[in-house]
Amino acid sequence: MNATPPSMAFESPQTSVREKVKAWRQACPAAVEQWLEKEREQVPLWVPVGLGIGIAAWFLLPHRWAWLGFCCVVLALACGAALLPVGGRGRRIAVSAGMLACLGCLLVWGKATLVGEPPLPRAIFATVTGEVRAVNPVPAKDMIRLLVRPVDAPALPSLLRVNVRESDMSPAIGRGAVVRFRVRLMPPAPPSLPGGYDFAARAYFLGIGATGRALPPIAVVKPATAGPDMRNRLFAHILDRMEGPAGGIAAALATGDQGAIAEEDAEAMRRSGLAHLLSISGLHVTALIGAVIFLLMRVMALSRRAALDWPLMLIAAAGGALAGIGYTLLTGAEVPTVRSCVAALLVLGGLALGRDAITLRLVATGALIVLCLWPEALVGPSFQMSFGAVVAIIALSEHPRFRAFAAARDESPWRKIARAVAVLLLTGFAVELVLAPIAFYHFHKAGMLGAFANIIAIPLTTFVVMPLEALALLLDLAGLGAPAWWATGKALEFLLFIAHGVGSSPMAVALGPALPVWVFAVMVMGGLWCLLWRSAWRWLGLIPVTVGFVAILLNPAPDILITGDGRHVALRSDGGMALLRDRAGDYVRGALTESAGYDGVLESLAELPEARCSADLCSVLLERGGRKWRLLVTRNNMLVEREAFMRDCRWADIVISDRRLPRWCQPQWLKVDRVLLAATGGLAINLEKRAVRTVHSPNDAHPWMPRRIAAGQRDRVQSGAGRFPPKP
């Protein structure tokens, strides 16, 4: 029996830990290079992602010093990556990523500086004399929106959006008209609650500095010099030929203007996952271009000489491109339409060259063009959902197993139909899965039955509704379009029947409270990692996606919601949610319920058993997190006796008011008044988790922020809204 000599027990092993670490450090870069070499065809797809990271950083970071700091950090990382061994693909990717992120931040920063319109500092009453630049009817709300450029008014923004009642309009008001009216102008509205729609940021890049409703009478100083544009004429013509809900849908399909769609129909389309049909996007542009190419190919094929000698595909692609560009201009050249037109032109270019044009590189090229021209579009749901859906469809179609399943083969007609339905259903599920985080982040709800509704709705819209509507418009040139309009109306009624039937199901949508930004960012990056790579390492992206979905499921609903003006307060009770002011409008009620992820009816706060309300104040006891929280809410602007109000303030943990509270009102934790809300915007408070979410940070210096607060007020906000007192 052999025995180990005693001296060997004290000798160092042949391979020490240090040598193993050294060997591992040498092997990792080589393994990464081998992996990147396999994925070399996919690496260019990340160029718009790098640019988008810089754009997103500019929107998320609060002020110029943070933006400069971000640029310095990513450039420093790029310089550090430049020290890696020369010739490696990882070195080039790291350097390019840092430069692209810096470029994206500087790109949107530069556009905001050069192009944006600063908002009106505060609400004012003014008599405005201005030139009408655009007229947009909104028949569903009995009003018309005017874009007005004030004349000889240096104190006003250069462009105003003004709502006018239809009964107050004059036929002489149109493009080029000069009008005079009195109006209460307000800065474009920021989000009223955390996670809400930020119209202020969008209006800034659109050049709109104030909004308001014109008060009658509206005097016409100079009548219109130009008639309605082609889009408005087409919109009015369709509504004249078709009445009822179907007319609004038909007008939206042709022009992209959804102003004639009733709110109940629009909500049904949203809940059923069919709202994408109403905005002019890839489906509409593709259907039009495809129809033009099909007709041109069939017409040219009738000539033997053309079929043998002419480059039919090139001519048809050119005709389709002209049709797409004309349709884009006709519908107002909105960003989603321009984006779809650019993508379609790239596809046509690939087809004309005889190449496979439907690839992820096409999508990346289109995204890069859009981000360079409209970097602000990155943070909007339109950009995210359209590109997310296209990436999901192409990535699924490129998967070998799905491609083998969807490939054409000799089989019975019923099996072909079943296979086509299965392909549509799988594609719909993939799109819904990819769009779910985007929908939860922007709208606080995601469709659950949209894949089933789209199986019928997309073919119905593409192959029945749009061709019939186009035929009706052509026949109207000879006054013979009535039968085609009748058929179009019946098809649209069937589409609305599907929307209302699916949307009315309790399983149509899943609701959830507003998501933190980090959850959305983690899920987006994980999804891109899964969709853009091709090797087995792509599935590592499922880890952040899973973390994000778990965070959505565990995301706590807020106990208290306070709008940015402080007038509307909603509390979560044991049986539902209660609202402070019963007279709140539908818009406020919808914003509160969506932000809370609540699908019920808001009760009155005064009717809660745990509330005691007078004409001036409401006091509420809420039990959360193992303790009782005492709330005090003001109900009006009437003066309350100082001694009683001071005693109530000391009793309360949180005091909420839409006015400026005196300094001697000192609650035990948080005083929410006009001063605080001017700095933070709306608030969402979770008492059990002891967390407060704000619309924006107190030091937010983005150019669409109309107000600035003093240093003392900022210190109060940062010290008060960012921490909870110890548990008593």
In this predicted model, what pLDDT tens digit does every residue of 33-86 receive, in sequence order?
888 888 888 899 999 999 999 999 999 999 999 999 999 999 999 999 888 777
Nearest to 560, CA basis, from 679, 693, 728, 719: 693
Nearest to 575, CA basis, from 606, 602, 553: 602
190's CB contacts (< 8 A; 6+ apart) are 198, 199, 200, 564, 681, 695, 696, 704, 705
Number of neighbours of residue 628 by Cβ within 10 angstroms: 13
Res 195 pLDDT > 80: yes
Tokens, residue 605: 């706060």
Res 120 pLDDT > 60: yes
Cα–Cα dist 552/529, whole Å: 20
Cα–Cα dist 394/299, whole Å: 31
CB 677 within 8 A of CB 653: no
Phi and psi of 530, rounded to 5°? -70, -35
**Mean pLDDT, residues 334-348:** 70
Res 182 pLDDT > 80: yes
pLDDT band at 5, cuts 50/70/90?
low
pLDDT at 467: 85
pLDDT at 725: 42
Q: pLDDT digit string (tens) for 553-584?
A: 888 889 899 998 888 899 988 768 888 887 77
CB 108 within 8 A of CB 205: no
Nearest to 49, CA basis, from 539, 544, 435, 524: 524
Percent of the chain residues past pLDDT 90, beyond the cut? 27
> What does the mean pLDDT of the chain come to?
84
Helix (H, G, I), strand (E, B) or coil at 161: strand
pLDDT at 718: 42
Strand partners, 656: 633, 672
pLDDT at 590: 85
Res 348 pLDDT > 90: no
Task: Please report which residue ranges of 272-311 form alpha helices under DSSP H.
Answer: 282-301, 304-309
Instruction: Please indicate, yes or no, whether the overall pTM of this predicted structure exceeds 0.95.
Output: no
The DSSP letter of residue 557 is P
pLDDT band at 287, cuts 50/70/90?
confident
Strand partners, 222: 178
pLDDT at 273: 82
Cα–Cα dist 336/631, whole Å: 45
pLDDT band at 527, cuts 50/70/90?
very high
Q: Where are the beta strands (DSSP E) in 478-536?
A: 509-511
Beginning with the edge strand found earlier in the chain, give each strand of the sheet holding 560-562 in spatial order.
603-604, 577-579, 569-572, 560-562, 683-686, 691-694
pLDDT at 712: 41
Nearest to 120, CA basis, from 155, 152, 164, 145: 155
Res 9 pLDDT > 70: no
pLDDT at 282: 61
Task: Look at 50 and 310; give whichever has higher pLDDT.
Answer: 50
CA angle in degrees (0–180, nearest 5) for 564-568-570:
110
Tokens, residue 656: 């909420």
Nearest to 351, CA basis, from 383, 389, 388, 324: 324
Cα distances (Å, whole numbers) of residue 692 to 251, 612, 617: 43, 25, 23
Nearest to 470, CA basis, from 232, 229, 234, 227: 234
User: How many Cα neighbours within 13 Å face the side chain of 267?
Assistant: 6
Res 716 pLDDT > 60: no
Q: How far is CA 646 from the centre of its chain?
A: 44
β-strand pairing of 577-579 with 569-572? antiparallel
Task: Look at 453 and 48; give whichever has higher pLDDT.
Answer: 48
CB 273 within 8 A of CB 453: yes
Cα–Cα dist 153/503, whole Å: 48
Cα distances (Å, whole numbers) of residue 337 to 198, 247, 286, 333: 21, 21, 11, 6
pLDDT at 113: 92
Nearest to 97, CA basis, from 59, 58, 56, 43: 43
**Mean pLDDT, residues 213-234:** 85
Tokens, residue 69: 């700091």
User: Is-cis flag, bond preceding 223, omega within 30?
Assistant: no
pLDDT at 698: 83
**Mean pLDDT, residues 191-207:** 91
pLDDT at 372: 92
Res 552 pLDDT > 70: yes
